[in-house]
Structures are given as structure tokens and as C-alpha cells.
Chains A and B, each alone.
Chain A
């Protein structure tokens, strides 16, 4: 089916001559999945009016729900979203501050401080893709009674991009231009046509702080703003008290801009401790309503769930645990730099070796014995939202096949059982961060590789070193001074542009850019670069989705990237708590709709 056919079909769905079900069936007949088909309809503007990305909210009046108690085993330490360097801090800021829109779990945008989501139809999105106009909701009040307006939005742009402030969010704001059209309209202008327009003012990095309280602290004195620790936002809950690293308390905001919300009278977020006892406090004793990020073995969670007080929530997102096979040579120095881009990995440059490596990891075993529900096996690097998921990739575990491939490629076993060819031995340093499931994965991989005549030398680096930006340290993951490495990368937005730019050639991590380039595996492909560039300017969502599918197939197909398991977010909550979770946004992204069923 070509693009014109698809467009014709979508047109028929829009004018009603073809049912949505019929559309999905036809797409399924040509090999597209049902979720992909419905997503195509949704982004093409043919979704039914009743389609809800957010579950219905039932309480009929504001307040009266008592206390909501939330447990985070990592305590939050600050309450300014522009300084929040971790998700816990972003989450606790999000209790008070709101963005213009948030990402629902199906990857669509939901308006929060915006009156509506900009689209072609409502004139929000410019035809040339160079600007987006946000209409702001009227009648929104800050917790201190002041009116929320376009000035606040513009101020956040100035604040976040100011070098003196050194905001964590600056990446979303420095390349755009923001204009106030009128008191309730703001226009974001881009330097080039931008299909992924929903970055500034959206989601976790889009939280808007009040101009009237921060305007005197928009430079190097940003740290001194008293509101950094006593936030005044627009959200459903207003600030009561905060002890950094311990407890955050909030209460019902009577002038909240959504009807009948919030349900709870007070909110308490307690931090600290460990994940297992947090799971226990929800699932077993029921002392708390919700516990964040259950990095606990699935076996234990299942045992705790047996108490029947609470349940484990698994929300699919884009996080993925994967292995990188270094495209460059980590053992040779060029201009004083290892893994130099001018070199090629002596063994991994042979596609047969890479293919064998991909065949030697038993992903089903990882899912079954290590990660459980927290890590379904996958063949794709880009897994979600479903409209971007490739159907072309398959994974397989076969030691026999790996052996055959290596035999055919001329890699012969030496006396010690390790294969070699032209003086190159299949002996690889395999590094990752210290973490129990990762070390077990390493062991499984090593065992299988051994049976194919490949020796893996396992190396584990403590996480604070592995993930640091310390240029002086040779063991950081961005340097990749090893043959292969493994970690999880997350995809915080429902758009894959930022996610997939980690394989373009101009992002290669080198000494010249202080190893800050995002292409760590240093794999380069002209076709990938070209498609990525095109996708950056492609305004047609359907074509763009196809481009990302192709990019996934290119990089996964090259076997330089071996996806292992998806990492959905896992949390625990009491059975009667109704929450709205999304892996594309923060835990607290729709806190206003949380309630308890009685």
C-alpha cells in the first residue's frame, strides 16, 4: 500500500464512508498492526470525538477525599522544575507547577494550561511548520491569587535559556523564539520547519513558574529565590511544607481551574529508604497509597501482591535496555584518543561477528528469569508509541546458528577454544554499570558466547562513574573505551526525534566535543543521516512515522545495537486508588485526576 492509498483511506474514514474498524482491517491485511492503524487515524485527525487518552474522572465535588500518601524511595531535594536534575525532583515540582500540555500514555497530548492542543485545523500549527501558537486557558489563578497569563509563559522561556540561571531545561528553550501575541496567546517560533513542536512548555520540562515571583531571580542569583523551596504554582495542590530529602506536603487548592478537582484534601510525599520496603508499605501493609519506581525483582512484587491490598502498575514507554557493539577500535590510540572515529573495530567490522553476537543473547530468558513484567524482550530499539514500532525486526537465540555463521565467515577456533581470524581474536571487554540484573545479564551472555568460541571479559563500573560527565574519567559510558557496553536509555517524550538522534554521524562522541556527542556506539550510515534530516523537516506524521521505522531497522539491522528488553515504568498502588499514569510524562503529570474509589 503506498502513501496515496493510505491517504485516500483516511479521507474515507473522515467523511464517514469507511468505518474505523474497516480501516484497521485493511491496514492489517497489508501487514500494519492494529495499534499502528488507530494511531495513524488519531494523528491524521480522524480519531473519534469520544476518544479519551485520559480515563474518566468520577468525583462530583472538590475535596473530601482525605489524605493521599505517596512514597518515593529517592527523596526529592528541590522544587524548581528548571533546576530539577532527576525525575523525583521533576515530579515534586510537578505537584505545584503545570505545563501547557502533557503526554498521555497513548502518546497523545492532553491540554493542561492550554485551552486546546494546537493543530492544523484550529490554526495552531503553521502550514510551514515554523511556528506553533498556543491558546492559554482563561481564568487560571496562581496559588497566591494572581492571574496566569502569556507573560508567565514568555518569562519561562527567558528564564530557562538564560546562561546565568544554568537551567536543566535549557535544551528545550534555547533554540526557539517565544512571542506574546496577546494576554492569552503565545507563539513559539522555530528556526526551521519542526514536526516535533511539542517540546517547549510541554511535559516535565514544560512546567511554568510564575513571573511575578521569579522575575528578580532570573540570572546568576536564581538560586536565592525563596520560591525555589516554597513553590507557588497553578496546580490542584498548593504548598504546605517541604524538608529537602524528606517530606513534601501540599493541600487542596480551592481555586483550581478544573471542576471538582482535586479529590484529596492533603498530599504527602515521603522520600528515602529503599524500593523493597516501599513496595511493602503499599502492597503488604497498605500504609501508603502509591509507591514510585519499583526497582524490585518481579518475584518479590508478585509475592507482595498476594496480600491483595494493592497492585503493581506497568506502564509501557520507550525505555530500553540494550547492548552496543563499538564500531571503532577501543584499543588503538589515534591523536591520543581511543575509540577514534577514524578507526574500525577489528572484529565488529565483520557483519558476521555482529550477527553472531545478536544471536548469542537469550532475550526470552532475560524476561523470564531476570526482569519479569519489568522487562519484556524486544527486537526493536524504538518500541513506542506504537505508530513508530517496526514490524520487520525479529530476534532469535541460537548458539548453533552463531557457530555456523562464524565458521562460514572464517573465524576458526584456536587451541584455547577462542575463535580468531587474521590475528584478531574474538575476545571482548563488555562493560556496564553495577546493578544486579545487569550483572546477571552479563553472565548469561558470557556463557552463551563461550559456547560459540567468543570470550567476554566482564567489567562493571559503579553507576556514578559510568553515567558521569566527568571528562577525566576513562570509564564513563560516553567514552566507550570497551568493545561493548550495556545500559538503559529512556525516551521521555512521545516523539522519537531526540531519541533517534543518537545514531546520526554528527553526534559521534569524540574528544573534540568532550565526549558529549550522543552517538556513543559511533556507528555511521549515510542513509540513516539522510532519513533523519528528512524527518526533521517532514510535517506529514504518517511519512515521518515510516521514516523512524526505517531508522530503527537500519541501526538494529546492522547489529551494532542489540536491543534486549523494554523497560516499562513499574509502580505500586492500593487497589482502590485511581490514578492516571503515563510513561511519556512525569508520575504526577495528571495528579489532579487521582481519586479513591470508595
Chain B
């Protein structure tokens, strides 16, 4: 097991290096610099822009810039944002809690909806409930989050005036009021993300349960005269969860990506909106760092999924 983990981690290093080379080259080839706004401002002489470029090392050859970045990274220095001149790790850490809370809540919501609905639908295949659940699931994951987000804003903020559509990370209140305000402003983004995720999961849970429900050990359990609820919970769901857990783990990095759009709509100061603004401003160090974090997440969650898989299903061994 330990050996397997070490081997997997060692394999991850060249993958990460490869990812970083590709990312860096693409960013270096992409034109532009972070000083676009200085361009048409006649109060700022153009050579000031040139000096700025030079001072940030933007005029060095690509390979040299990459090596500088890599060695800094190895020393644990993530570099600093050209635009805000703040260390990148600081920027990311500042935003991580918000992202994790919103995404975490959305993921919990997705599971809370998908598990019961999926299981219930699978135990009564082709019933009316199953048909409705399936239709809604299809609708749910066909609608993009930016559309449902705007729809919710129009309904709950503009028409009904119930919920705020500007997310504020800091709220001047204490105790219950603080909690209430945070929950109130999180309702819409969490609904948008959670239902989108949940819709896809419903389909997955349903098919996983359907696979298990016809297996021999379930029939045996039923034959022993166990109540239907016990059969479903103990014998069916537990087994069906193996692929579901893997899927959820593998989906985590994708969820971070999916949140970019939602964060932009609701002005949530999360990692996603950091990435968007950095891309718009050509802020290479931030883009590198955030995408690199995403890459690490993908690799990490892949590893976790593999480990979980083997642990849940003894037929798969670590080799």
C-alpha cells in the first residue's frame, strides 16, 4: 500500500512538470500584458509601460522565464501578481475558504438530492416517480449554470426581492444575524451549482443501484425474508456506493471549474473569479498558480479515488 502510494506520487511529478510546461508556454505565447489600461491614457508615456514590462521580466525569453518560475516554485515561492503585487499564495489562501464553503455546500446539496432520488427511482424502475426524476435530471444538467443563475436572480432578487444577488464575503453582523446573512446570500449560488451537480448524480446513482439490485446476494437477502428497506439500505446501497464515491471524488476538480461561472455571476470572491480576472488582466503568475492548483487537485483526487476504490472493493489490489 505505502509502496503503491509512493509510486503513484512519483509518477505524478513528471505529469505536473509536463502540465506546467504546457501551461507556461501557452501563456507566454498568448499576447498581451497586464497594462492594457495604460495604453490609451495619454498621461502615461509609453516608455513607462515598456519599463514596467522590463521590470516584471516580461521581455525575457520564454524558457528563461519558465526556469525562473520553476525554481521559485520549488523553493515554495509562488511569485507575485503583476497586477496587485501581492504574493499569489496569499491571494489564493484568501479566497479558498469561500470557494470551499460554497462548493462544499453545493456538493452536499447534490448528494442530499441525488442519493435518495436515485435510489428510490432505481427500486421502482419505469414508475411515474422514476420518469419524472429522469426528466428533471435531464433538464437539470442540460441547462448551463450561467442560465439558471440569471433565472434565479431575475426571480428571487429582482421580481420577488427576497435574496441579495451580490455576495459579500464580510458581513457586519454577529451571532445569528451573521449566519442568516451568509446563508441567505449563499442560497442561490449553492442551488445553481448543487442542482446542476445533483442532476447528473441522480442518473449515475440510479444506474449504479439498478446494476446491484439484480445481483444474487440481493435476491438471497430478500429470500431470507428481510424487510425491503433493510435490503435496499444494507445490501444494495452500500455496494452501489462504490462507483458513486469514485465519481464524486473525480468530479471535485471539475466542480471547482464549474464554479468559475457561478462565482462570476454572483460576485463570489472565490478561486474561480480570481482565475477569470487574472486571465482578463494577463496576470501570468496568478493564472499559472491557480491552474497549477487545479492540476494538482485533479491528480490528487485521482489518487484518492484509486485508493478508495481498492479499499471499498477488495477485488482490486494495489500493484
Interface residues of A (CB under 8 A from B): 71, 75, 77-78, 80, 83, 85-87, 163, 166, 168, 170-172, 199, 204-205, 223, 228-229, 241, 243-247, 249, 266, 270-274, 277, 280-281, 284-285, 287-288, 463-465, 467-470, 472-473, 475, 477-478, 487-493, 498-499, 501-502, 514, 516-518
Task: Report the minimum CB–CB distance from B197 to chain A (whole Å).
Answer: 23
Whether a CB of chain A sits under 8 angstroms from the CB of B49 is: yes
Q: Determine which of A83, A277, A464, A469 lies in contact with B53 in the assembled complex, contact meaning CB atoms within 8 Å.
A: A469
Q: Tell me the smallest distance from the CB of A153 to a CB of chain B, in Å.
A: 19
Shortest distance between the CB of B50 and any CB in chain A (Å): 6
Name the residue on B nearest A461 (C-beta). B31
B46: shortest Cβ distance to chain A, in Å? Answer: 4
| Bound-complex Cα distance A518 to B164 (A) | 46
Are A288 and B166 in contact, CB atoms less than 8 angstroms apart?
yes
Q: Does B34 contact A (CB under 8 A)?
A: yes
Q: Tell me the B32-50 residues at the A interface (CB within 8 Å).
A: 32-50
0/1 string, B66-90, CB within 8 A of A gives 1:
0000000000000011011110000
Inter-chain residue pair count (beta carbon < 8 A): 162
Distance from A291 Cβ to chain B, minimum over Cβ atoms (Å): 11
B55 CB-CB contact with A under 8 Å: yes
Q: Which residue of B lies closest to A469 (CB)?
A: B49
Most chain A beta carbons < 10 A, residue from B43, B46, B50, B95: B43
Q: Which residues of B contact A470 (CB under 8 A)?
A: 31-33
B169 touches which of A246, A266, A502 (Cβ 8 Å):
A246
Residues in B with CB closer than 8 Å to A477 are 39
Contacts of B86 in A (CB 8 A): 77-78, 229, 244
Chain A positions within 8 Å of B33 at CB level = 468-470
Tell yes or no: B267 within 8 A of A by CB. yes
With A85-B37, A464-B32 in contact, is A244–B43 under 8 Å at CB? no
Contact of B269 among A86, A245, A280, A288 (CB under 8 A): A245
Q: Which of B16-24, B218-226, B242-250, B272-280 contacts A (4 or more CB under 8 A)?
A: B272-280
User: A166-B51, A490-B42, A518-B42 known; A272 and B32 CB under 8 Å?
Assistant: no
Contact yes or no, B85 A516, CB < 8 A: no
Contacts A247-B168, A272-B277; A171 near B269 (Cβ below 8 A): no
With A244-B86, A470-B33, A493-B43 known to touch, is A168 a contact of B166 (CB < 8 Å)? no
- B153-194 toward A: CB 8 Å interface, digit per residue (1/0)? 100011001001110111010000000000000000000000
Q: Would you give the shortest CB distance from A459 to chain B, in whole angstroms? A: 15
Q: Output the nearest chain A residue to B282 by Cβ-Cβ distance.
A: A464
Tell me if B264 is interfacial: C-beta within 8 Å of chain A.
yes
CA distance A86 to B82 in the complex (A): 12
Q: A171-B45, A277-B153, A492-B42 are in contact. Are A270 and B52 (CB under 8 A)?
A: no
Not counting A241-B170, A477-B39, A487-B40, a sample of 5 additional A-B residue pairs whose C-beta atoms are within 8 angstroms of each other reads A168-B52, A247-B269, A464-B32, A516-B50, A518-B46
B91, A244: Cβ atoms closer than 8 Å: yes
Is the CB–CB distance between A223 and B80 below 8 Å?
Answer: yes
